[in-house]
Amino acid sequence: MENTYNPMELMITIAARNLEDGAMVVVGTGVPVAAAMLAQMTQSPNLTILFEAGGIAPLLPTMPISVGDSRTTHKGLKATSMAEIMELCQAGIVDYCFLGGAQIDKYGNLNSTLIGDNYEKPKTRFPGSGGANDLASLCWKTMVVTPQNKKRFANKVDFVTTPGFIEGGTSRVDAGLPANTGPYKVITDIGVYGYHPDSKAMMLLSLHPGKTIDDVKANAEFEVIIPDNYETTVEPSELELKLLREKVDPSGVIIGRG
Amino acid sequence: MSDKQLKKGIGELFTSPNADDMRAFLKDKSKQMKNKLSSVSEAIDQFVKDGDYLAIGGFGGVRIPTALIHEIIRKEIKNLGFAGHVSTHDCQLLSAGKSFNRCDAAYIVGLEARGLSKNSRRMFESGNVKVTEWTNGALSWRFKAAAMGLPYLPSRTMLGTDTFKRSAAIEVECPFTQQKMAALPALYPDVAMIHVHRADVHGNCQIDGILVADDDIAKASKRVIITTEKIISNEEIRREPSKTVIPYWCVDAVIEMPYGSYPGNMPGEYFSDEEHLADWLKAEKDEMQLEEFIGHHILSSKDFYEYLEKNGGMNKMRKLMQAEHLY
């Protein structure tokens, strides 16, 4: 059957499906936490949610507005420090992290620090890494959810805040980052992307219904690898949409933006 | 290690990581468990001066020492350095006061899901603030290294990025595994300001909910000012010693400041005042309007109670308490 949904609802649903039962994920506010909540309500009741400020395994009553507010420890298992959360990631127990950013390049490097070419006097200053660099360095798999356009999918990010595959190939491990970690998927309003196993360059995995390869190309400054066997994204089900609209984000704070 | 070349961040190191300096300081520090009750005004006069390096507890809009930051603005203390360790409303306040000229930045100029602070951006885009780049993990571990009495800790974060390049971290080879690590210099602030749930007059403190980095910050800092929702007896502290997060010897001043994290959230007590935080962001769009806004809320308020009154007083606090408990 055909459902009507907006791009935000689609991205959250895809992100949720990528979090399997029993996994541990560090999330931020907005799309990531919505995806984790939806995953818990569908296929992954035993998904452990962590917040970088110190909240561990809350039973989230509503979406938090800060990754450190009281909601992030509501009926949780532990309230701890930021150091301990990052230490868990560094120790290797955390499967996923979810990130965004102003720009991403073809190796999944992210910029959330500044726009411009003068570090001392940037054109636009953004918050910086926050925990993003730590999480992307230390968790096993990094997922990025972002609307896609030519400005965001940049040939070269103005500042590598957060590591993806750096310059591709083995450069991430050569830089000293833990082996077998790195970018996993990028979920946009056009498609879902992974990374080529050798070159580590971004590669189309599935195209959303109604989108075309031309849309992919027109909305990326770099060349996205288009394999012969990409799939079509499965649309959100009636149940997923119902849970998302009625339980996860009833006031439409996030999905209203779609 | 396949890439043998060890790199060095080019960012400025604003504080000395020398653990022996802190050892000498602590050797001479009074360890007497005396009454440290003070007032916001006295504590700032006594313990914060122009040019100090400041660490602020909490998480930007959660459990923040708002009253103390207001006082820094009112007293026009300038040229501070500060640790931007998820610095959201606190960064907004220090920017409003033009109180700093250098910053170790992990998270600045934003208010998380609420948006970006236009005035904090103006401050950081002006070219008048020296910035060294870090991450939340890196700053947490820099405080931890200091709390441990070490000059640095190795870590596996920041490697391979511009964040590392603009930091003051140095790549080192692990002497045991020969793996590349980022050595993070210990961060010893001159002064820390931390808001807690409960403290006795000596400065033994209890915190509910997340600690963020405040146990380490208290140990890492030369001077510590505590504001607390409530003063409790020493007997109550001794009844549950496992609850003591910050011990008395770290602390120089204790101030009872109910609703002291307002407009931030205080876990278990009251939620953040999102309307007021939205007003802040709105006022920042125009510099004249911001001046008026700060004049009304901070400069013309004789103390924090007056600021609370201007924002709805007890009636508003009740509402935020209800919001905290999801009523």
Tell me the pLDDT tens digit for each residue of B205-263. 999 999 999 999 999 999 999 999 999 999 999 999 999 999 999 999 999 999 999 99
**How far is the alpha carbon of B266 from chain A, nearest alpha carbon, in Å?**
8
**How far is the alpha carbon of A129 from chain B, nearest alpha carbon, in Å?**
5
| Nearest CA-CA partner of B184 in B222, B157, B209 | B157
CA distances from A114 to A111, A187, A221, B285 (A): 7, 23, 19, 20
Q: What is the mean pLDDT of residues A1-6?
A: 76
Q: Are strands A55-56 and A78-79 parallel, antiparallel or unpaired?
A: antiparallel
Residues B125, B127, B130, B133, Cα dihedral to 10°: 40
The CATH number that applies at residue A101 is 3.40.1080.10
In a domain, A2, yes or no: no
Q: Strand (E) positions, B106-252?
A: 130-133, 152-155, 170-173, 180-185, 191-199, 205-206, 223-231, 244-246
In a domain, A205, yes or no: yes
Residue contact B272–A177, C-beta within 8 A: no
In a domain, A105, yes or no: yes
The reported pLDDT for the residue numbered B5 is 84
In a domain, A1, yes or no: no
Residue contact B108–A127, C-beta within 8 A: yes
Report the percentage of chain B scoring pLDDT > 90. 98
- Whether A54 has a pLDDT exceeding 80, the answer reads yes
DSSP three-state, residue B196: strand
CA distances from B151 to A94, B170, B171, B316 (A): 28, 13, 15, 46
**How far is the alpha carbon of A45 from chain B, nearest alpha carbon, in Å?**
23
Residue contact B162–A113, C-beta within 8 A: yes
**How far is the alpha carbon of B325 from chain A, nearest alpha carbon, in Å?**
9
The reported pLDDT for the residue numbered B131 is 98
Is the Cα torsion angle A237, A243, A248, A253 positive or negative in sign?
positive
- Whether A224 has a pLDDT exceeding 80, the answer reads yes
Residues of B in contact with A52 (CB under 8 A): 136
Residue contact B157–A123, C-beta within 8 A: no
The reported pLDDT for the residue numbered A1 is 45
Residue contact A69–B140, C-beta within 8 A: no
What residues are paired with A104 via a beta bridge? A110, A153
User: Is B273 at the interface with chain A, CB within 8 A?
Assistant: no
Say how many domains are in chain A. Answer: 1
Q: Are B199 and B226 in contact (CB under 8 A)?
A: yes
Domain range for A56 is 7-257
Q: Are A127 and A244 in contact (CB under 8 A)?
A: no
- Whether A2 has a pLDDT exceeding 80, the answer reads no
The mean pLDDT of chain B is 97
Q: How confident is the model at residue B3 (pLDDT cuts 50, 70, 90)?
A: low
Q: How confident is the model at residue A122 (pLDDT cuts 50, 70, 90)?
A: very high
User: Is B177 at the interface with chain A, CB within 8 A?
Assistant: no
Residue contact A170–B2, C-beta within 8 A: yes
Rg (CA), chain B: 20
Tokens of B197: 């749930």
Q: Are B263 and B89 in contact (CB under 8 A)?
A: yes
Q: How confident is the model at residue A258 (pLDDT cuts 50, 70, 90)?
A: low
Q: Residue B212 phi/psi, 5° resolution?
A: 55, -100
DSSP three-state, residue B206: strand
- Whether A3 has a pLDDT exceeding 90, the answer reads no
Annotate A189-224 with b (16+ C-beta within 10 A) or e (fewer). Answer: bbbbbbbeeeebbbbbbbbbeebeeebbeebbeeeb
Q: What is the mean pLDDT of residues A110-137?
A: 96
Tokens of B97: 């006061």
Residues of A in contact with B82 (CB under 8 A): none
Residues of A in contact with B106 (CB under 8 A): 128-130
The reported pLDDT for the residue numbered A257 is 72
The reported pLDDT for the residue numbered B8 is 98
Residues 6 or more apart whose CB falls under 8 angstroms from that of B2 comprise A170, A173, A174
- Whether A193 has a pLDDT exceeding 50, the answer reads yes
Q: Which residues of A are catalytic?
A: 52
CA distances from B71 to A47, A166, B40, B66 (A): 44, 45, 7, 9
The per-residue pLDDT for range A132-173, each reduced to its tens digit, is: 999 999 999 999 999 999 999 999 999 999 999 999 999 999
Residues of A in contact with B84 (CB under 8 A): 128
The reported pLDDT for the residue numbered A101 is 83
**Reported ipTM:** 0.97
In a domain, A101, yes or no: yes
Q: Degrees (nearest 5) of the Cα angle B163, B168, B170?
A: 95
The span from the CA of B9 to the CA of A249, in Å, is: 42
| Nearest CA-CA partner of B214 in B144, B112, B111, B137 | B144
Is the Cα torsion angle A141, A147, A148, A149 positive or negative in sign?
negative
Q: List the single residue in B106, B121, B326 with the smallest CB-CB distance to A129.
A: B106
The per-residue pLDDT for range B104-156, each reduced to its tens digit, is: 999 999 999 999 999 999 999 999 999 999 999 999 999 999 999 999 999 99
Domains defined along chain B, listed by start: 19-136+188-324 (3.40.1080.10)
Enumerate helices (H) and strands (E) in chain B, giving the number of each: 13, 12
The reported pLDDT for the residue numbered B297 is 98
Q: Are A222 and A202 in contact (CB under 8 A)?
A: yes
